[in-house]
């Protein structure tokens, strides 16, 4: 199933996108749906089988659970590590602030005219069950679904201070998220193509099997010290081809349209606006 969140008639609702349109689940958001567990799944399956009416949202919202933990992974593709001149010896994690989430359809406005705005397509997993000290063998049992994000960064920030990760990665709107969360039973992501284009020009392309650390291992390593809760987001790193590695650098400018996608999962399209 493909879950979406939207605004309609003054209310926030969680729905499922079908071939006929969007069907409301009866929940205000993803966290409430996940909290109900198997009962919510069974009721939704009965609802979809009955041929329910569809709705027309006033506007789409981020599908993520409100105030979810947003945890990104760095250094997980060898080609990206090479172009960045880094050699991590274990999975590297960093958080993004909730204010970095960019609602669907809104332009991404750089903080300053001089911002060196860069893109990084990333495959991401959404947690469905509380995960604490889990093993790689059962890690996927804790995953609800998949989505795609664009891990935007301001390269000049870390150029002046390499430790300034939060300000580089967590400015307002620096995490465009696809409209959909696709449940794990809906798609087979083994070896799926991950790519990013800017104004139709291919910038990044790889496959998920090129990740240095698999999703199960990333979750095992992370939950040794961090508890993940239903609705939390964990990304999996970005392949080579970032703007900073091009000659000359290919930083994003107002008017650019960036499409980040994973085949079979979903895409997130972002238009770059004027600086704030």
10-residue averages of pLDDT along the chain (276 residues): 97 96 97 96 95 94 97 97 94 97 96 97 98 98 98 96 95 98 96 98 98 98 98 98 96 98 98 96
- List the alpha helices (DSSP H) in 124-266: 155-160, 165-169, 215-222
Spatial CB neighbours of 71, under 8 Å, sequence gap ≥ 6: 93, 94, 95, 96, 222, 226, 228, 232, 233, 234, 235
Statement: 70-271 belongs to CATH 3.90.850.10:
yes
DSSP string over 216-239: HHHHHHHTTT--B-TT-EEE----
CA angle in degrees (0–180, nearest 5) for 193-198-204: 35
Given a contact cutoff of 8 angstroms between Cβ atoms, the answer to whether 227 and 132 are in contact is: yes
Given a contact cutoff of 8 angstroms between Cβ atoms, the answer to whether 25 and 44 are in contact is: yes
Residue 96 pLDDT: 98
> Which H or E element spans position 45?
helix 38-49
Kindly tell me the burial class for residue 202, based on how many C-beta atoms sit within 10 Å of its own C-beta (0-12, 13-18, 19 or more). Answer: exposed
Residue 110 pLDDT: 97
Cα-based distances in Å from 130 to 47, 144, 205: 27, 11, 32
Residue range(s) occupied by CATH 3.90.850.10 in the chain: 70-271
Structure tokens at 111: 């903080």
Mean pLDDT of the chain: 97
DSSP β-bridge partners for residue 108: 272
DSSP β-bridge partners for residue 238: none
Cα-based distances in Å from 238 to 8, 12, 23, 157, 210: 34, 31, 33, 19, 10
Structure tokens at 202: 């291919």
pTM score of the predicted model: 0.96
Calpha distance 220→111 (Å, rounded): 35
Residue 154 pLDDT: 98
Residue 171 pLDDT: 98
Q: What pLDDT digit, counting tens, does each position of 2-52 carry?
A: 999 999 999 999 999 999 999 999 999 999 999 999 999 999 999 999 989
Backbone angles phi, psi at 76, to 5 degrees: -105, 5
Tell me what percent of the residues of the chain surpass a pLDDT of 70: 100
Spatial CB neighbours of 244, under 8 Å, sequence gap ≥ 6: 83, 84, 116, 118, 155, 251
Residue 7 backbone zone (phi > 0: left; psi -120 to 50: alpha; other: beta): beta
Calpha distance 144→182 (Å, rounded): 8
């Amino acid at each position: 199933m493909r879950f979406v969140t939207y605004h309609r008639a003054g209310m926030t609702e969680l729905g499922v996108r079908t071939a006929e349109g969007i069907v409301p689940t009866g929940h205000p958001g993803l966290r409430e749906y996940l909290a109900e567990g198997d009962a919510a799944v069974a009721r939704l399956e009965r609802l979809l089988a009955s041929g329910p009416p569809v709705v027309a949202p006033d506007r789409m919202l981020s599908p993520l659970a409100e105030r979810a933990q947003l945890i990104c992974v760095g250094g997980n593709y060898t080609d990206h590590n090479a172009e960045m001149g880094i050699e991590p010896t274990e999975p590297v994690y960093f958080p993004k602030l909730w204010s970095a989430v960019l609602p669907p359809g809104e332009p991404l406005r750089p903080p300053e005219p001089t911002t060196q705005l860069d893109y990084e397509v990333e495959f991401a997993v959404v947690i469905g069950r509380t995960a604490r000290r889990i093993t790689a063998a059962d890690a996927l049992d804790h995953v609800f679904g998949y989505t795609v994000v664009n891990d935007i960064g301001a390269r000049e920030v870390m150029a002046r201070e390499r430790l300034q990760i939060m300000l580089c990665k967590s400015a307002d709107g620096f995490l465009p998220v696809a409209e959909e969360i696709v449940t794990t039973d809906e798609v087979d992501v083994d070896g799926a193509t991950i790519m990013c284009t800017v104004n139709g020009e291919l910038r990044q392309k790889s496959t998920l099997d090129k990740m240095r650390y698999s999703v199960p291992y990333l979750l095992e390593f992370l939950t040794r010290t961090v508890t993940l809760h239903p609705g939390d987001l964990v990304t999996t790193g970005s392949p080579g081809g970032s703007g900073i590695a091009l000659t000359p650098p290919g930083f994003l400018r107002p008017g650019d349209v960036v499409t980040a996608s994973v085949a079979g999962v979903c895409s997130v399209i972002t238009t770059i606006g004027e600086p704030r």
